[in-house]
Structure 1
């Protein structure tokens, strides 16, 4: 029995149902006040739920808009909707079929993947924000919160590595090692398998630092790029690394991706 003449749109989804609701709203607006409401039913993962929703919808002047990806659930929806003579619109079906033909591959048919992707995205954003906040020793409190802490003298790729790893959802804090500054006590208070020390060959550092000074319009013969200074920094850093007994990676002949891969391997072994 149909109650009233104004229509109702039932949105049924195995995830949040946001996609189906957006489509329903886009359609509803074309009919002014002819559609009274949109009712959303998220996380519909059982056939019994579908049966109950369709039975309820049959009491109204309703259609069903659904975003179900599991074939058995879609088939059940169509069968029950047909039984009650209700129009059921598959929002994703045509797109998935077209992509299946385009890629010549079978879809995963897993419910909630979009939600998992969203969670992954936000975790990545959090990791990037973390890397920026705790870059270059800005705040030593990040050491204890980080998944991994990178140590190294200037120009050992600490910041690029931090950002690269952040895109892998790894929260990274990096600490510069400078002879004139005591390293933060926090690095001695965390497990050494969460610390990665970075080093570089003296000649390579000398070249990199000279180019850096030139790029900044500064005298490339400044103490920062002198071999004596570089050797002193590396010696100081090595003493700290030995004290920490942490893994050490020489980045002199490695691309960022290669070094990051080594770091990820060390992290996984430590888990």
Structure 2
């Protein structure tokens, strides 16, 4: 029996730590026989905050990953880690150095620059508001204002994919497909949005729906999880997609992030063709 190696992972950031956390988890995911104990320190922007972090690192030695733009704080962190013989990695250095060399400029050295409340930030908020107002078939007759519309039978990851897209500034609506139930009238007249169908394998969908019912402590003896009924739902949806010429993405083996990336690829291709 294999036992996972447990280690301490210290994530130090002078901003929210979102970027650092994603990079660290993506890297750790490549080592299935290791399990990190995460110590997260966000908004570390002063000597006192850093000293507390250094004390935590000393008490639980492991590996340190950081994103810090203040040269003095960064130098102090790297020096102390060297004294403790603790690996200390700046995850943005390779990208920043390459970009600076290409542009022939130095970075602004502003912590959390990606979170500045500029026009792009407010576009993301507007996209999220639109997406939440148009979840699960809700429509105020303004579907043509969407950038993307996702359709699929129940539990094909429409809502989480739309929310992920909204965080990228994409106005995304989603509509459930129910056999013999009409679609929103304004879907037929929508010209601006990219309309994408999501599908999955019947076996996988039955499993997901059963897990959902169990989590809600509801009866699983229902057509909602009956294999033949589920297969008919998926077949009905596929015929609908084909009849309208909508592109289809199979989400059976895809994460939300992978589904959203596939949708964005279709969207960007469409934008380039316009």
TM-score (norm 1): 0.58
**Rounded Cα–Cα distance in structure 1 between residues aligned with 2:192 and 2:260:** 18
Task: Check 1:178–1:116 CA distance in 2 against 1; reply closer, same or farther (3 A cut).
Answer: same
Q: Is structure 2 residue 237 aligned with structure 1 residue 205?
A: no
**Contact 2:145/2:193 (8 A) holds in 1:** no
The residue aligned with 1:267 is 267
* Stretches of structure 2 lacking an aligned partner (at least 5 in a row): 1-68, 77-89, 97-105
Aligned in 2, Cα 1:146/1:193: closer, same or farther, shift over 3 Å?
closer
Higher Rg of the two aligned structures: 1
Render the CA deviation track for 1:183-242: whole Å, top value 9, x for unaligned.
Answer: 123222234971010001000001011111111111112111111221121121112111
Task: Give the Cα–Cα distance (whole angstroms) in 1 for the partners of residues 201 and 263 of structure 2.
Answer: 19
> 3-state DSSP class of the match of 2:118?
helix
| Aligned residues of 2:150 and 2:173 also touching (Cα < 8 A) | yes
Instruction: Calculate the aligned-residue CA RMSD, in Å.
Output: 2.7
The runs of 5 or more residues in structure 1 that have no matched partner are 1-94
| Equivalent in the alignment of 2:156 | 156
Deviation at 1:180, TM superposition (A): 3.3
Question: Whole-Å Cα distance in 1 between the matches of residues 143 and 160 of structure 2?
Answer: 18
Q: Distance in 1 between matches of 2:193 and 2:119?
A: 27
- TM-score, scaled relative to structure 2: 0.57
Number of equivalences: 175
What is the match of residue 134 of structure 2? 134
Tell me which residue corresponds to 1:254: 254
SS of equivalent to 2:221 = coil
8 Å Cα contact 2:149-2:193 kept in structure 1: no
Cα–Cα, structure 1 residues 96 and 119, in superposed 2: closer, same or farther, change >3 Å?
farther
Q: Where do residues 7-18 of structure 1 align in structure 2 (5 Å cutoff)?
A: none
Cα distance change on mapping 1:224 and 1:140 into 2, 3 Å: farther
DSSP 3-state at the match of 1:174? strand
